[in-house]
Amino acid sequence: MFDSYGRKINYLRISVTDLCNLRCKYCMPEKGIDKKWHKEILTLEEIEAITESFVELGVDKVRITGGEPLVRKNILKLIDGIGKIGGVKDLAMTTNGILLKDYAEDLKNAGLNRLNISLDTLNEEKYSQITKVGKLKHVLEGIEAAKKSGLTPIKLNVVLIKDFNENEIEDFINLTRYEDIEIRFIELMPIGTLKHWSSNKYISNDTVLEKMPELIEIESADISSPARYYKLPNAKGKVGLINPISCKFCGNCNRIRLTADGKLKSCLHSNSEVDLKKLLREGKDIKTVITDTIKSKPKEHELENGNYINREMTAIGG
C-alpha cells in the first residue's frame, strides 16, 4: 500500500487498551480516563480480523501498544493469533515493563519478536514521581526477564523532560557501552489536555549531542525509522534520537494506527479518524476504507502551527 506521497505503508500499530497501571504525566491525565464499556473496544477476534485485512493489503510489521498492553485480558492469546497470520514478519510490543517479569517468557513463546520498554529515569525516587504509582525495580526485573527470554535487542524509550531527566542523558547512553541495547531519546510532544504542560517541559534532542559530543552518527538499517542513530566508539549498543518537534520525522513515515476503540488514524498528530469497528460490526468490507484512509494520510504533522490532537496519548497508543 502506498499513500498519495509515494510512501509505502507496511507498519500497523495497534492499541489494545487505553488503560494503564501507571500515571505518567505526559501520557495520562492525573485522574485517569473514563473506563470504556467492553462493547466500546475491539474484541480480540476483531483485532485479529482487522490485522488480517491489513496484512492482505501489504502490512508486514505489527506493534502492540496501549495504554499498557499487558493489562489487556488474554493478551497472550492475541499475540499468538497475530503471530500466526501469514505475512507478519515482525511482531513487537511497547510496554512500561511493570508486568514484564511475569510475561516475558510467555510473550516470546506466543510469537513476540521484540520489545520497546518505556523508561524515563534510572532514579527510583524520580521514577515514582513521574509515574505516580510505579516502582523502578519492577521495570529493571522485567528488562532482565526479557533478556533471558530472548526478546532482544531491547529498546528503551526515554522521553526527554525539562528539569526532570536531562541530567541522566549520560547515564542512559553509558548503558550502551557494554550492552547490546538501544536507547531512544524522544522529544516531548504536545498531545491532548496536557499539551500546554508538555510545551513548557519540551527540550530538544540537540541537548543529547551537546552532552555527549563523542557520539558518532551511523547509518540506519531502516530508512522508515523516525530515529537518527548514533554510537559511542566501540560500544555494543546504540542511541536513537527521535525529533518530532525540532526535526520532522514524517518524510519516510510507513505507519498507520488503530486505537483500542476501533478508530483508524493515518497520522499520530491528526484528529482525523475512521471508525473501523462500526464498519466491521455492520459487516462492511473494510479494505477499501483502509486504502482510502492511507491515501488521505497527510504529508506531515503541523505541530509548529499549534495544531494539536485532542486524544490523550494513552488513548492513541505509544
**Residue list for the binding site for S-adenosyl-L-methionine:** 26, 67, 118, 189
Bridge partners (DSSP) of residue 218 are: 229
Point out the annotated binding site for [4Fe-4S] cluster: 20, 24, 27, 250, 253, 267
**Residue that is written with C-alpha cell 513515515 in the block:** 253
Point out the annotated binding site: 13, 20, 24, 26-27, 63, 67, 94, 118, 155, 189, 250, 253, 255-257, 267
Point out the annotated binding site for GTP: 13, 63, 94, 155, 255-257
Q: Using H for helix, E for strand and C for coil, what is the string for the chain?
A: CECCCCCECCEEEEECCCCCCCCCCCCCCCCCCCCCCHHHCCCHHHHHHHHHHHHHCCCCEEEEECCCHHHCCCHHHHHHHHHCCCCCCEEEEEECCCCHHHHHHHHHHHCCCEEEEECCCCCHHHHHHHHCCCCHHHHHHHHHHHHHHCCCCEEEEEEECCCCCHHHHHHHHHCCCCCCEEEEEEECCCCHHHHHHHHHCCCCCHHHHHHCCCCEEECCCCCCCCEEEEECCCCCCEEEEECCCCCCCCCCCCEEEECCCCEEECCCCCCCCEEHHHHHHCCCCCHHHHHHHHHCCCCCCCHHHCCCCCCCHHHCCC
The CA-atom distances, in angstroms, between 153 and each of 72, 116, 117, 280, 291 are 24, 9, 11, 36, 33
